[in-house]
Amino acid sequence: MTNNVADHHPGNSVAEGNHEGDFGCSVMELRNLMELRSAEAVARLNDSYGGVQNVCKRLKTSPVEGLSGNPTDLEKRRQVFGQNFIPPKKAKTFLQLVWEALQDVTLIILEIAAIISLGLSFYHPPGGDNERDLLPSDGILIQGNDLKIDESSLTGESDQVKKSLEKDPMLLSGTHVMEGSGRMVVTAVGINSQTGIIFTLLGAGEGDEEKKVKKGKKPGAPENRNKAKTQDGVALEIQPLKSQEGVENEEKEKKKVKVPKKEKSVLQGKLTRLAVQIGKAGLIMSAITVIILVLYFVIDTFGVQGRPWRAECTPIYIQYFVKFFIIGVTVLVVAVPEGLPLAVTISLAYSVKKMMKDNNLVRHLDACETMGNATAICSDKTGTLTMNRMTVVQAYMGDTHYRQIPDPEAILPKVLDLIVTGVAVNSAYTSKILPPEKEGGLPRQVGNKTECALLGFVLDLKQDYQAVRNEVPEEKLYKVYTFNSVRKSMSTVLKNMNSGFRMYSKGASEIILRKCTRILDKNGDPRVFKLKDRDEMVKKVIEPMACHGLRTICLAFRDFPAGAEPDWDSENEILSDLTCIAVVGIEDPVRPEVLKPQHSCGCPMPTFLSHT
């Protein structure tokens, strides 16, 4: 099978030999392939592997039927590619926790409660899995129908990513299928998937190397050396610029990596040193106390009172000396602050609990210690500082710039009808506004956020876009020019009753306005839109909106008279001679609680940085 693939693709840059388990692709090859994106991934997939079909042949699977289900074959694949399971990082043992607690003598009493707590912590009720379209592993798309994936769990971006065989066929584990359907060939599971690699790097998972060492295999064993040579060969095939020595050195460096020991935080270290210093001072004071008491007793008894030392009185004198020693030990015990670090830890834990009620998760207690000296606060923007709800806040229509959403009565009926119909039909029918899940909450936005903002604008104008969609279902749309990175606009053509056509367009204002030759005036009638008019609109409308951080979207339309049907394939001619309806400004509102912490951080004021 491998030879057949090589015959059809003589320019293949990936060697076919030395693959694990008689498969045409090794684990490292598939991992490196899944790290590519978009055009680079398609080029590598076609040039090095001969397309998705040949990947299926190399993996000995059917693109239609999938795996055969043979237990022997499944076991062989598990040995070669691993299991689709990310092993959790091993927790500290019970004896280790007891040993750490016994480092402080006063905490021995708490060990009884710790035993009960640890015994209960071993039990975790099984969590119920929700029925969702969650991708369990990495793979390559074989066949898809308008497939859109939410990769926010990996990238942090809320925009849906469209997957196709031609542009971006890579599907990653942990992402959600939002629209469409498809079929993929699994290429990486468990710790070999992109999610598994991230968890392993973050220390949340246990890598293959740690598992092998725990099984008793020595790094220098012949089996491991042979496997290392095989992996080095694969690395050379995927990355020809890396030398053999570089790969071997890299493997050695990985083996030298050890888990760092747990260190005390800055505050804990200082408190420990302070406790030691106080303990030394207490020891000195207790010794001085014992010496003073003994000298006072000896001088007063034998010097001042003149009593002789008698053998029968020796037990009584010893009792006095023991009493003085107990007093000294009492002074020492009282002076040494054994519970000082524990008190600080309890105080920090209480602060963390209070912060949890404010939806602030603190993973490490020592983070609270250093927040008082923070000079910069870095935060994500989308969904963290903002509400992740695109909303129309300004609009320009009828030669009027509305700083707020206008009343429906202030807009001419024919202009309002153009806006409602254009937004309703010239948006993906999967984008919609749903009622809030909880009473008093905000309506839910489903689908593209920009389109949801326009649909929300229609609802703010007291109009119903769903009624228009019910009247014009998706199958009645005559022609749709979908949005892409080149076109930067979306247009939908409807057939009129008089055999003519009307096209609604929306897109970036700098793109649509260049294609507009007319604009609706305050009476709702089209007038000539010249170049100087466009420059004036950019200066007085577009730039002020942009200065407020708004995304400007232009709505336009064009009527085609009845008669000869236009050539819909000629996009440059079709998407021209437009009439501008309105320009709207869209923003992602800032959460109301964001500005409050800026005034409660104290002095000096830290620097706030937003990363997006």
Active site (catalytic) residues = 380
Contact between 122 and 145 under an 8 Å Cβ cutoff? The reply is no
Contact between 541 and 550 under an 8 Å Cβ cutoff? The reply is no
- Beta-carbon contacts of 461 under 8 Å, excluding residues fewer than 6 positions away, are 405, 406, 408, 411, 416, 419, 420
Estimate to the nearest angstrom the gap between the alpha carbon of 26 and the chain centroid. Answer: 29
Query: Own/partner pairs for 203-212, CB < 8 Å, 24+ apart?
Result: 203/89, 204/88, 204/89, 205/86, 205/87, 205/88, 205/89, 206/87, 206/88, 206/89, 206/90, 208/82, 209/254, 209/255, 211/87
Q: Name the one residue in this structure whose structure tokens are 């005034």.
A: 599
Token pair belonging to 72 = 């022997």
Token pair belonging to 28 = 């490292």
Measure the CA angle with vertex 436, ends 435 and 441; round to 5°: 140
Would you give the DSSP letter of residue 90? P
d(CA 330, CA 199): 51
Helix (H) or strand (E) holding 586: strand 578-587
| 578-587 and 551-560 strand pairing | antiparallel
Q: Which of 552, 557, 524 is nearest to 538 (CA)?
A: 552
DSSP string, 421-481: HHHHHSS-TT-EEE--SSTT-PPEEES-HHHHHHHHHHHHTT--HHHHHHHS-GGG--EEE
Q: How far is CA 362 from CA 355, 358, 381, 609, in A?
A: 8, 11, 19, 19
Residue 104: what are its φ and ψ, rounded to 5°? -105, 125
Neighbouring C-beta atoms of residue 200, cutoff 10 Å: 20
Token pair belonging to 248 = 């071997």
Provide the total of helices (H) and of strands (E) in the chain, helices listed first.
Answer: 24, 17
d(CA 488, CA 571): 13
- Residue type for position 18: N
Neighbouring C-beta atoms of residue 566, cutoff 10 Å: 15
Q: Which of 389, 428, 447, 456 is nearest to 592 (CA)?
A: 389
Three-class DSSP category at 333? helix
140-179 burial code (b ≥16 CB/10 A, e <16): bbbebeebbbbbbeeeeeeebbbbebeebbbbbbbbebeb
Three-class DSSP category at 158? coil
Measure the CA angle with vertex 357, ends 353 and 362; round to 5°: 50
